[in-house]
Amino acid sequence: MLQDEQFPEKRRSAASSSFLGRMMRSIDGCQLKIVLDGKAEADKFKAVDTYDQVSERLHMYSWKEPVKGRVVLTPSGTSFAHRGVTVELIGVVTIFRDVEEKSVFLQQERHFEPDTVMQPTPFEFTFSAPKEHESYRGIYAKVAYYVKATVKQRFKDAGIREEVWVHRVDDALSEAQPDASAHMNYFRETCFGPESIAMDVGVDNVLHIEFRYDKKVFHMTERVLGKVTFKVADMEIAFGEVGLVRKEALHPGKAEESIEQETLQKFEVMDGTPIVGEVVPIRLYLKSIPRLTPTFQNVEDFFSVRYFLNLVLVSQEGRRYFKQQEIQLYRRTGQERPLTSSPSGVLQAETK
**Domains with residue ranges and CATH for the chain:** 24-167 (2.60.40.640), 171-330 (2.60.40.640)
pLDDT digits (tens, 9 = 90+) for 38-63: 998 888 888 887 777 788 899 999 99
**Above 90 in pLDDT, residue 328?**
yes
Q: What is the pLDDT of residue 338?
A: 63
Instruction: Please compute the mean of the pLDDT values over residues 293-317 and round it to a whole number.
Output: 93
Using the predicted structure, report yes or no on whether residue 19 has a pLDDT greater than 50.
no
Q: What is the dihedral of CA 13, 18, 20, 22, to 10 degrees?
A: 90
Mean pLDDT of the chain: 82
Of residues 154 and 6, the one with the higher pLDDT is: 154
| 164 vs 69: CA distance, rounded Å | 12
**Average confidence (pLDDT) over 101-114:** 96
Statement: residue 15 has pLDDT above 70: no
Q: How many CB atoms lie within 10 A of CB 299?
A: 20
pLDDT for 194:
66
In angstroms, the first-to-last Cα distance of the chain is 41
Q: Are 149 and 158 contacting, i.e. CB atoms less than 8 angstroms apart?
A: no
Q: What is the pLDDT of residue 182?
A: 58
Q: In the 8-state DSSP scheme, what is residue 176?
A: H
Which are the contacts of 155, defined by CB distance < 8 A and separation ≥ 6? none
Query: What is the value of pTM for the model shown?
Result: 0.81
- pLDDT tens readout for residues 210-233: 888 888 999 998 888 888 888 887
Residues making up the chain, counted from first to last: 352
pLDDT over threshold 80, residue 297 = yes
Higher pLDDT, 134 or 323: 134
In this predicted structure, what is the pLDDT of residue 16?
A: 41
| Average of per-residue pLDDT across 284-292 | 88
pLDDT value, residue 317: 87
Report how far residue 264's alpha carbon sits from residue 285's, in angstroms, rounded to the nearest whole number.
Answer: 12
C-alpha–C-alpha distance, residues 40 and 143, integer Å: 23
Q: Quick one: pLDDT at residue 130?
A: 92
Q: In whole angstroms, what is the distance from residue 178 CA to residue 176 CA?
A: 7
**pLDDT at residue 62, rounded to an integer:** 92
pLDDT at 7 over 80: no
The answer to whether residue 252 scores a pLDDT higher than 70 is yes
Q: Does residue 141 or residue 233 have the better pLDDT? A: 141
- Is the pLDDT higher at 88 or at 182? 88
